[in-house]
Amino acid sequence: MNLSRTLATAGRVLTQIRHDPRTVVLLLLVPSLLIGLVAWIFSDTTVFETVGPAMIALFPFIVMFLVTSITTLRERRTGTLERLLSMPLGRGDLILGYTLAFGLLAVLQSSIAVLFAVTVCGLNIAGSIGLLVAVAVADAVLGTTLGLLASAFARTEFQVVQFMPLLVFPQILLGGIFLPRDQLPEVLQAIGDALPLSHAIDALTAVASGSEDDAYVVGKLLAIVAWIVAAVVLASLTLRRKTP
């Protein structure tokens, strides 16, 4: 690993994104707009107070997964990745550079989403706003790293989308959004408890409701970080120079 090469990769990715206004809007604003739509749908009920924290976890996670995976795959299909890796740039440098670049965007995206949910949508937060933002950022970075992992195996943008039923949809279904996990069949509950998005939903809900202490939330945050590290390592090991 070389820090200067990692930072150079991150800078290149950020420069490319800066010249693509549609991607910037998708990354930074769409999650907040979707959260606002959910709040509007349930404006005359108390449902948003229950599902709002889960929406802060869900929408940035999905957007970061899609944008990161498609961007990385496009660089491999156009030959950019092969040219970069022919230089003194390791796979780990490349993956960490992408993670850093999209991680910085995740900080902005999650901060905007939390601020929008609290100030515009009226989501009440009983716990620490700082801790809420930290978990939301980690959740968005998780989406980034899983997107990098998916791009290492996919050959086309369509295949990337096909990875969503494998990597994303089960986490949504088993994360406790539609039904509390303790009401699921035991096998599904065990699987759901282990999935990273479940940790993010639990942590955000705990901070919003004030039902758990900070130690509980930090434990969930560390579990998310462990998944992030595992995804980065696996993506580095499986990244191909080009698409066959």
Q: Six-digit token pair at 152?
A: 């290492």
Residue type, 126: A
Q: What interhelical angle do 21-28 and 47-77 show, nearest 10?
A: 150
Q: Tokens 């739509």 label which residue?
A: 37
pTM of the model: 0.88
For position 156, what pLDDT does the model report?
72
Question: Please, are residues 96 and 232 in contact by the beta-carbon 8 Å criterion?
Answer: yes
Question: Please, are residues 135 and 224 in contact by the beta-carbon 8 Å criterion?
Answer: yes
Distance (Å, whole) CA 213 – CA 52: 20
Percentages of the chain per state (helix, strand, coil), in multiples of 5: 80, 0, 20
The 8-class DSSP code of residue 2 comes to: -
CA–CA distances in Å: residue 89 to residues 74, 159, 187? 18, 27, 43
Query: Taking the CA atoms of the chain, what radius of gyration do you get in angstroms?
Result: 18
Distance (Å, whole) CA 207 – CA 195: 19
pLDDT tens per residue across span 7-54 = 877 888 888 888 888 888 888 999 999 999 999 999 889 899 999 999
For position 89, what pLDDT does the model report?
59
List of the chain residues with pLDDT < 70:
1-2, 76-90, 239-244
Distance (Å, whole) CA 32 – CA 209: 20
CA–CA distances in Å: residue 109 to residues 22, 85, 239? 14, 30, 26
Residue type, 207: V
For position 140, what pLDDT does the model report?
93
Distance (Å, whole) CA 117 – CA 211: 19
For position 82, what pLDDT does the model report?
57
Q: Six-digit token pair at 97?
A: 């550079």
For position 188, what pLDDT does the model report?
94
Picking from 135, 124, 137, the residue whose alpha carbon sits closest to that of residue 218 is: 135
